Amino acid sequence: MNTNLKTTLIIGALALGIVLLFRSGSPSNPESGAGTASNVVTAAGQQIVTIDVNGGYSPQRSTVKAGVPTTLRFITDGSYDCSSAVRIPDLGISKNLPATGTTDITIGTLAVGTIQGTCSMGMYSFEIVAQS
Ligand SMILES: [Cu+2]
């Protein structure tokens, strides 16, 4: 009985230690660091901007390079709110996204400046900032 209790305590302490080690290791993961990872990936001469759509747009601001072919990749996942109806008036874009899925919208090359996008009601917004 006494030995069992000791064993239980030791196993419990070890498990707690492993959990703490795991948790303290997480924030140093660069991909999960808030605000540090970019949502813009450049591959084969074009840049892909990934935007999560669900009750708004995340991130709200994306920074891209002007003059580089650009694709906006909207990710929906059970997004039944109006943010799934994307409007980018500056580019003449109006698109209804599926409730769940990946939708690429090719927008060509941007000039230096900021493009505004919104949901169909103008309630949620995002912007694409093109820099030289
Ligand atoms: Cu809306």
47 lies in the same domain as 106? yes
Going by their DSSP bridges, the two strands 46-53 and 70-76 should be labelled as parallel
This prediction has a pTM of 0.72
End-to-end Cα distance, the chain: 72
In a domain, 53, yes or no: yes
Q: Are residues 70 and 124 in the same domain?
A: yes
pLDDT in tens, 7-63: 555 444 545 444 444 444 434 334 333 444 699 999 999 999 999 999 999 999 999
120 lies in a domain?
Answer: yes
Q: Which CATH number does the domain housing residue 106 bear? A: 2.60.40.420
* Same domain, yes or no: 125 and 86: yes
| Distance (Å) from CA 39 to ligand 1 centroid | 23
**Is residue 34 in a domain?**
no
Q: What is the residue range of 100's domain?
A: 40-131
Does 20 share its domain with 76? no
Q: How far away, in angstroms, is 56 Cα from ligand 1 center?
A: 8
Task: State the distance from the centre of ligand 1 to the C-alpha of 43, rounded, in angstroms.
Answer: 32
49 exposure class (CB count in 10 Å sphere: 0-12, 13-18, 19+): buried
- CA–centroid distance, 85 to ligand 1, in Å, is 8
Considering the domain architecture, whether residues 93 and 66 belong to the same structural domain is answered as: yes
Instruction: Give residue 81 CA to ligand 1 midpoint distance, Å.
Output: 7
Contact partners, residue 64, CB within 8 Å, separation at least 6: 40, 47, 49, 70, 110, 128, 129, 130, 131
With cut-offs at 50, 70 and 90, classify the pLDDT of residue 6.
Answer: low
Please tell me whether residues 94 and 45 are part of one structural domain: yes
